[in-house]
Copies of this chain bind each other. A is one copy, B any other.
Amino acid sequence: MQKDIDKCIAGIDIGGTKIALAIATPDGKIISKDRFSTSSENGAKAILARTAIKIRELADEARKDLIGVGIACAGPLDIKSKMTINPPNLPGWENFPVGETVEEQLRVPVSFDNDANAAALGEYMYGAGRGYKNLVYITISTGIGGGVIINNQLLHGTGDGAGEVGHLTVLPDGPVCGCGSRGCLELLCSGTGIARRAKESVLSGRETSMTSLVERVEDITSSTVVDAALAGDPVARQIWNETIRLLGIGIGNILVTVSPEIVILGGGVSLTGERLLAPLREFVYSHVRILPADRIPIVTASLADESGIYGALELARQSLNT
């Protein structure tokens, strides 16, 4: 039998725009990595074949035997059957057996979870969550998702619904979300949601310097809002303050439910860093009164856009150890 030093695991992070992959030692030290765009026109099968070939190449270059693969994938998924269901950001991947396909291609066991759960696991094991046993990870990106770790274990919950924090109700009489409910956090505070609220303000005729920062109204993003807000634009400031307040209400509801040791924010919007974190902490710590909220750090993901790939590696590592 070979020693662990001659073995490796692989992680694959399948997102709407790119696939990231890495091979690592069985204890999660990355040996090499790669990424390429999710060219959806080629279809799921072709992309996964390309991914599998690349993983084989990297393992061969490193002269290591591949013994397991972890996959983090954009949802919604059926985690148990390792299939995508109807991921809006992966057209052509409807009801696709991702796990089975990669298992056939690489002939090793594959473990599978959604991207936000994997990112939570990545941060827990290798990032900002190291040393904590209870944490909540929230990704604020095109959408808002999350992952909850309790007692050192990822919590999936009924129907894999744990950590679906994008659908916390933060504005009960708010607009209707894509999910069919009203006033969901994702609808209002995702990058898309922030930009939409800004565009609505402009289109409603409000005077704002945001229009001078972009060529067309459609080009306004959450970054436009943050930049204009910090430059003192009153409309942008109002939108950003409301974003902070609604995110804070959502996080507050998470705190009184599970009171984690740390809250970690990932995703594109979290890259605004302290411009988001400082007012958000201030809001949450004064809004949540029933528990010592200020003992719960609110920080950004330390693995940035690699939380998912580290999480995928951790999925592989855990499945080999159980």
Q: Which of B134, B253, B260 contacts A253 (CB 8 A)?
A: B253
Q: Which of B157, B170, B258 contacts A172 (CB 8 A)?
A: B170
Q: Which of B159, B161, B253, B258 contacts A155 (CB 8 A)?
A: B258
User: Does A70 interact with chain B (Cβ within 8 Å)?
Assistant: no
A residues near B (Cβ < 8 Å) are 134, 148, 150-151, 153, 155-172, 177, 179-181, 245-246, 249, 252-261, 287-293, 295-296
Q: Are A155 and B162 in contact (CB under 8 A)?
A: no
Q: Which of B162, B167, B260 contacts A288 (CB 8 A)?
A: B167
Closest to A182 in B: B287
Least Cβ distance of A234 to chain B in Å?
21
Q: Are A134 and B157 in contact (CB under 8 A)?
A: yes
Q: Are A258 and B257 in contact (CB under 8 A)?
A: yes
For A134, the chain B residues whose CB sits under 8 A away are 155, 157-158
Q: Which of B158, B159, B171, B292 contacts A159 (CB 8 A)?
A: B292
**How many copies of this chain does the complex contain?**
2
Q: Are B167 and A290 in contact (CB under 8 A)?
A: yes
Q: Are A260 and B157 in contact (CB under 8 A)?
A: yes
For A155, the chain B residues whose CB sits under 8 A away are 134, 150-151, 258-259
Expressed in whole angstroms, the Cα–Cα distance for A205 and B81 within the complex equals: 59
For A253, the chain B residues whose CB sits under 8 A away are 168-169, 253, 257
For A259, the chain B residues whose CB sits under 8 A away are 155-162, 164
* Given A157-B134, A172-B171, CB of A162 within 8 Å of CB of B257: yes
For A296, the chain B residues whose CB sits under 8 A away are 158
Expressed in whole angstroms, the Cα–Cα distance for A247 and B6 within the complex equals: 56
For A156, the chain B residues whose CB sits under 8 A away are 259
Most chain B CB within 10 A, of A159, A245, A257, is at: A257
- Give 5 A-B contacts (CB < 8 Å), ordered by A residue: A161-B292, A166-B290, A167-B290, A169-B249, A181-B290
Q: Are A290 and B179 in contact (CB under 8 A)?
A: yes
Least Cβ distance of A117 to chain B in Å?
12
For A159, the chain B residues whose CB sits under 8 A away are 259, 291-292, 295
Q: Are A168 and B256 in contact (CB under 8 A)?
A: yes
For A255, the chain B residues whose CB sits under 8 A away are 161
For A177, the chain B residues whose CB sits under 8 A away are 289
